[in-house]
């Protein structure tokens, strides 16, 4: 039996309302370019790409169905990708993320996205507590 890890790329909350919202910061274009590059490398290596999309409350910048809620078009989401919606900082909380990963035999997550000190941090910590190996792409997450 092989000890090789089966990996997936997890992109957290890279949505228009964050990337282009009033709180966007000067370093964001480079981070977004790095995320897009990671997606291309994952696709060329046949790694699954999973997008996490935050559903905000009514009036929130990430309210479902609004322009801000949309995943950034630069990401190039494809039909084969999985999009999992969430309502909390923890992408595992009340979502199908864990079952999706386990069904696919994924044991290693490569993580990128928004926002470092909220959803990225919380999701990474939860993933580790659930037994997943995690690689946080140092230049592909931000706030």
- 119 is known as an active-site residue: yes
Other Cβ atoms less than 10 A from the Cβ of 11: the count is: 29
DSSP designation for 74: G
User: DSSP E strands: which ranges in 13-129?
Assistant: 49-54, 82-86, 108-114
Query: Among the options 31, 32, 114, 119, which is catalytic?
Result: 119
**CA distance to 52, 60, 93, 94, per residue, from 136 (Å):** 15, 27, 20, 23
Which strand ranges, in their side-by-side order, compose the sheet holding 133-142? 82-86, 49-54, 7-12, 108-114, 133-142
**Residue 38 neighbours by CB under 8 Å, 6+ apart:** 9, 11, 110, 112, 137, 140
Residue (of 89, 95, 96) closest to 122 by Cα position: 89
**Residue positions annotated with a catalytic role:** 119
């Amino acid at each position: 039996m092989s000890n090789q890890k089966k990996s997936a790329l997890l992109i957290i909350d890279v949505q228009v309302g964050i990337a282009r919202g009033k709180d966007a910061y000067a370093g964001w274009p480079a981070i977004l370019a790095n995320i897009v590059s990671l997606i291309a490398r994952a696709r060329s290596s046949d790694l699954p790409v999973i997008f996490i999309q935050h559903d905000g409350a009514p009036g929130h910048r990430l309210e479902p169905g609004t322009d801000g809620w949309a995943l950034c078009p630069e990401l190039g989401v494809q039909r084969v990708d999985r999009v999992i919606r969430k309502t909390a900082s923890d992408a595992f909380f009340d979502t199908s993320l864990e079952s999706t990963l386990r069904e696919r035999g994924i044991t290693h997550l490569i993580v990128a996205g928004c926002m470092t000190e909220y959803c990225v941090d919380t999701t990474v910590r939860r993933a580790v507590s659930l037994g997943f190996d995690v690689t946080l792409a140092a230049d592909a997450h931000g706030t």
